[in-house]
Amino acid sequence: MKKKIKFLKGSSSPFFVSLNKEVDKLLSQNNLAKAHKLLWTKMIFYFSLHILSYIILYLFPHDSLFGLVLNFVFVGLSGMLLAYNVSHDACHGTFSKNPRINYLLYHLSFNMQGTNAYLWKIRHVSSHHLFPNVDGCDADIDDNPMIRLSPQHPIRKHQRYQHIYAFLLYCIYTLHWFVFKDLLYLSKKKLANLEAIKHPIHEYFLFLLWKIIYLIAMVYIPLLLGYSLSHVITAFFLMHVVNSLFFIHSLIATHLCLETQFPKPDKEGFLTYDYYIHQLATSLDFSPTSRLFNWIFGGFNAHAAHHLYPKLPHTIYPLISPVIERTAKEFNVRYNKLDLLKAIKSHYKYLKLMGSKIS
């Protein structure tokens, strides 16, 4: 029988009790209303930006392959930013008290990128957020044959070079997600802490429908407009390379780097920390108080705040992140923060360590 994983303590964490008092003060000063207003403003902005990228693609002819590639990259990156700034919050029910509004915003903005919203939410909310960086409980670090992401995973000979070849694999990450990863997760009956997985019949239909819509929008319509198949395929592939590298290098270090921990349960199934301290120990922030980074990355740069307060809009994270850092210092709790370039560098160093026999 599989041992149940448990945190050391519950909501009685002295650190979180003190932190929550300070955060409540900030929320009571009309900051939450302002944050929600900004969240909706960003939603309109990023949806408009993404729609504009399609308008330019369909209505303004491109005489060169270079111009077509640039437009495809514009479509891809604007879609990625839409997902960062709208899909993620909507997935956690942040936009509205009406679940239908959150559902609509989330599924529309996420599925427009060719990736399945329903499957990602299962992994993200029901697995990753519960047990980040816990082997066997966090779907984001499930064992895979190419890259060793956890010190609890078995090591393979070729992984000693993973810090070198990982970059090439990262180049096709979103394309692999679109073609293979979603299909793999749709077929799985067990994933990390999730067991006996059953999907509603209509989700199989929506899975296929959204994949077809994406291919029509990105391949079929450009072909109808007169672009050659070779140009469309080239632009489509390069768009995914840019998307993949942007996605990986802005997100992966938030959990997978030298600074973050990978707690292992003891013989009784207890993890090292309580739930809240666990979130800090396994997360990394980069420029969490930056308004510019918040606008671009949708709060992913303030990962500690997101894991502690996933129901709050990401637009308030720049306000509460300094409180988290200060309270963590006060209670001698681990808090990880780097700038983005150092975080990326730390990730590749982590990959090198995970590929060595002494890890």
pLDDT at 1: 40
Looking at residue 312, its pLDDT comes to: 97
- Min mean pLDDT across 7-16, 206-215, 287-296, 313-322 is at 7-16
What mean pLDDT do residues 340-355 have? 96
| Residue 196 Ramachandran class (φ > 0 left, ψ -120 to 50 alpha, else beta) | left
**pLDDT tens-digit map of 220-235:** 999 999 999 999 999 9
* pLDDT value, residue 3: 63
Q: What is the per-residue pLDDT across 264-309, written as a single tens digit (0 to 9) for each?
A: 988 888 898 999 999 999 999 999 999 999 999 999 999 999 999 9
Residue ranges per domain, the chain? 14-354
- Summarize pLDDT for 144-199 with one digit per residue, the tens: 889 999 999 999 999 999 999 999 999 999 999 999 999 999 998 887 777 778 99
pLDDT 10s digits, 23-32:
999 898 878 9
Share of the chain above pLDDT 70, in %: 97
pLDDT at 29: 84
Mean residue pLDDT of the chain comes to: 93
Q: What pLDDT is attached to residue 9?
A: 66
Q: Is pLDDT of 359 > 60?
A: no
Model confidence over 210-268: pLDDT tens digits? Answer: 999 999 999 999 999 999 999 999 999 999 999 999 999 999 999 999 999 999 988 88
